[in-house]
A and B are shown apart, each in its own frame.
Chain A
Amino acid sequence: MSIDLSTATLKAMPSPPPEAKESPFQRMTRRPEMGALAGTVLVFVFFSIVGGQNFLSIGGASAWLNVASELLIIAIPVGLLMIAGELDLSVGSVLAASSMTLAIISGYLGLPMIIGFVAALGIGALAGLVNGIITARTNVPSFVVTLGMNFGLAGITLGLSRAITGTTSVPITVDPVFKNLFGSLVGGQFEVAIFWAIAVALVIAWVLQMTPWGNWVFAIGGDKDSARATGIPVPRVKITLFVLSGLGAAFVGVIQTCMYNSAQTTNGQSFVFNSIIAVVIGGVLLTGGYGSVIGMVLGAITFAIVNQGIYYTGWSSDWASFILGALLLAAVLMNNTFRRLALSSGPKKTSGKKA
């Protein structure tokens, strides 16, 4: 009546043969950024042909590098959140709030730059903290929480700016030290933000791939309940991720204010969707648990090449959005394919599980 579990029977069960060693190509297909790499190469080649010498010139390179690096400083922490299964749609208003804070404190009120700088980043961290605490404690989807924050904070920024300064655009004279650090052009064309983006990418890539904390981020996005069961402090990790995302947006707010010597209350809203586009093109799974910083870097570069490359083609720039939309869809389809490959790569399953 019961299943025979004697050793003899189990020995007799043909155990599936060990898998063959993978080829380096198979190994590569398992990486989340494979689709993104293909996308980057594709758009680069496309605009090199259509855009010609001007696109390939130093000026052309700086155009997309500048766009990519500001985008990256926001998109990398946003992507980290997405790997953990959450979204942040509040980066636009956080950027505006941070840049207005810096301009009002150090421009309009004339206080030292460092105070405005710390306050600007503080606003970003605070917005992230509020997003994180509400999401972690109430289980309201972060989509709603951060969308609410994006509108709410935009209102506060606009209201306070008008109440304090009577205007929505505040000029600031940037201290030379801050100008050099955040708002200058290297070689007359390359924003210093490029170096900040490289630093952010290196640090976060290390954290994500090489620390236990990074492993927790993947685990939370993969299966929140299992992650909690293994003892990972899920709420704390999520709150930290939201704070990082707020800090990234606030930092770009500082960079833009120092760059243009002024702040507007409407700055930054384009980053809300652009950061998500870059991250998704970069191979991060919207539902979490899968992605890489290299992918996000490639995604942001792809976005920036399309966004800027269009000006070198002689076409109306109206078409850039169309290309980006199509690219986004193609990227998701391609990433799905690569993910399927990653899951099925290796030997055929032979044991009991015959679908």
Chain B
Amino acid sequence: MTEPLMTLTGVGKSFAGTDALADISLEIEPGKVLCLLGDNGAGKSTLIKILSGYHAPTTGTIEVDGKQVVFSSPRDASAAGIATVHQYGGTFPLMSVGRSFFVGAEPTKGWGPLKYFDKATANKVAIRELKSLGITRINDGNRLVGGMSGGERQSLAIARAVYFGARLLILDEPTAALGVKEAAHVLKIIMQARQKGIAVVFVTHNVLHAMTVGDRFAVLIHGRKADDFMKGERTREQITDLMAGGEAMAELEAEIAQYESQA
């Protein structure tokens, strides 16, 4: 077993006395996809915000490469190689592809006060990296990001994270807003990143998508880790039931079956 990239031990977070998250322990390994499953409000977003440095945990410890760390800002987390990509790509709709690719790390030409943004290089690199992820439609870095499809924007954001040396890629519901084909494309990109040895945390409530790419799974319910298992240890039905809180889902399914038999 490889050394975990990141280890969470007993991590919890409370907001104004309410526990949003309690006692979460996870190991995130390089070259593996950890799927974080849970219904809306289960605490997935809070956990992502802790992983990416937006929130400091109230309890528990985080270790990166076996050393305890405290992220006081997203900048600390990205310095440690942690990149987060949000549902809509976290990209800037009215910026050009080249510009948005390099936001915060703009390439420059010239020197001293005459140093200027190297648009040609920015555009070239952005297009090249997009191509490497199979996005071939866009071939002009001046194109606005808002003109791309949802999947293309996800790909742009992932390409950006990988280009800037992310070791841990946190993908927050990357497939939720996508059509079938685009979702498959994003899943393929996740596998590409995994192959490069990047650790991936894939947050989703789509069990099918999770089972396609996941090596390891953790299910959150009401801010707690309800289950934790490896690929192949659970069936799709078991996971779905668990996420929805078991009984409630069975009842609902029975009711649906009733309507179906009436039809």
Contact = CB atoms under 8 A, between A and B. Distances in A.
B148 to A, nearest CB: 8
Contacts of B236: 1
Interface in A1-52: 1-3, 5, 10, 13, 15-19, 22, 27, 30
Interface in A339-355: 339, 342-347, 349-354
B142 interface: yes
A353 B149 contact: yes
| Chain A at the B interface: SS class | loop
A3 B184 contact: yes
A206 B181 CA distance: 42
A354 B151 CA distance: 12
A351 B138 CA distance: 12
Contact of B147 (A3, A211, A212, A344): A344
Interface residues of A, number: 50
A232 B99 CA distance: 14
B147 A339 contact: no
B99 A215 contact: yes
Contacts of A225: 90
B72 interface: no
Interface residues of B, number: 55
Given A5-B212, A227-B103, A352 B180 contact: yes
Contacts of A17: 137
Contacts of A231: 74-75, 78, 104-105
B137 A2 contact: no
Contacts of B74: 228-229, 231
Question: Ordered nearest first, which 6 A-B pairs have the shortest CB separation?
Answer: A230-B104, A352-B179, A222-B92, A352-B182, A212-B106, A352-B181
20 contacts: A1-B236, A3-B187, A15-B136, A17-B137, A19-B140, A27-B142, A206-B116, A211-B117, A226-B92, A229-B74, A229-B90, A231-B105, A342-B94, A346-B143, A350-B137, A351-B137, A353-B150, A353-B151, A353-B178, A354-B179
